[in-house]
Amino acid sequence: SVTSDDQKFCLKEVLDTFRLCLSENKEVYLEHYVAGWRGLVRFLNTLGSVFGFISKDAVSKIQILVSLLKGEDGSHYSTIQSMVKYELENQLVDLTKSGAHPTSGCRTLLRLHRALRWLELFLDSLRTSTEDSKTSVLCSVAYNESLAKFHSWVVRKAAGMAFCLLPGRQDFFDIMNVGTPEQVVAMLGEAVPLISEVYQITEDLYAQHNILDLP
């Protein structure tokens, strides 16, 4: 199930999942996108219960997308591109204010998509960090440049407090389960461009359809 997490986290697996996201013609497979997030949530869960409110929200969004994928109209949800087309053509998206479709695939995925930008920035700053860098600082800088502008004051405060409880850089690298710091940095060097590409394709698609501000 989405929430069971007995497997040990491994950054390489998450990386592989994001790699599977892109089709030959640069469409994004929803199944693998969601699996990538599942892997990240597994990581988050190893960091302790202070991150529970973040993990819960991510899991509930993952579950919404999984039900759409597995539902009657699942065939329309194989890629983000087909999802956007299907939901827009069938008026399944609340465009200006929350109404009949508060949990559309488009608005749900948009929340994860915005968080993916945070991840890209955070991982890139980890990649170029030094031994004495503080993960809490890297994380909040990335957050303030990305997700923060979409969050209420209360959520920003809670996030800021949680960031302070992040493990230090070395412990963080250990949890990634990749190997030496050099190997972690190399892996991040692969992961960041990949995540960035998935982000950019989704961003362009949403911009094209003018759905970057869904309620």
We find the least distance from the C-beta atom of residue 16 to ligand 1Q0, in angstroms, to be 12
| C-beta of residue 166 within 8 angstroms of C-beta of residue 172 | yes
- Helices then strands (H, E): number in the chain? 9, 0
Among 11, 35, 109, 192, the residue binding ligand 1Q0 under the rule CB under 6 A is 11
Among 66, 69, 139, 184, the residue binding ligand 1Q0 under the rule CB under 6 A is 139
Which range of residues in 52-60, 76-84, 86-94, 195-203 is near ligand 1Q0 by CB under 6 A? 52-60
**The two structure tokens encoding residue 71:** 């539902």
Instruction: Return the CA Rg of the chain.
Output: 17
Per rule CB under 6 A, is residue 149 in the interface with ligand 1Q0? no
Please identify, using beta-carbon distances, which residue of 29 and 43 lies nearer to ligand 1Q0.
43
**The two structure tokens encoding residue 164:** 């302070």
Please identify, using beta-carbon distances, which residue of 1 and 25 lies nearer to ligand 1Q0.
1
**What one-character-per-residue DSSP string does 109-144 give?**
HHHHHHHHHHHHHHHHHHHT--TT--HHHHHHHHHH
Around Cβ 63, how many Cβ atoms within 10 Å?
Answer: 16
Per rule CB under 6 A, is residue 58 in the interface with ligand 1Q0? yes
Among 50, 155, 186, 201, the residue binding ligand 1Q0 under the rule CB under 6 A is 155
Per rule CB under 6 A, is residue 110 in the interface with ligand 1Q0? no
Q: Count CA within 13 A, CB hemisphere, residue 188.
A: 22
Could you list the residues that contact ligand 1Q0 (CB under 6 A)? 11, 14, 40-41, 43-44, 53-54, 57-58, 111, 115, 118, 139, 143, 147, 155, 159, 166, 176
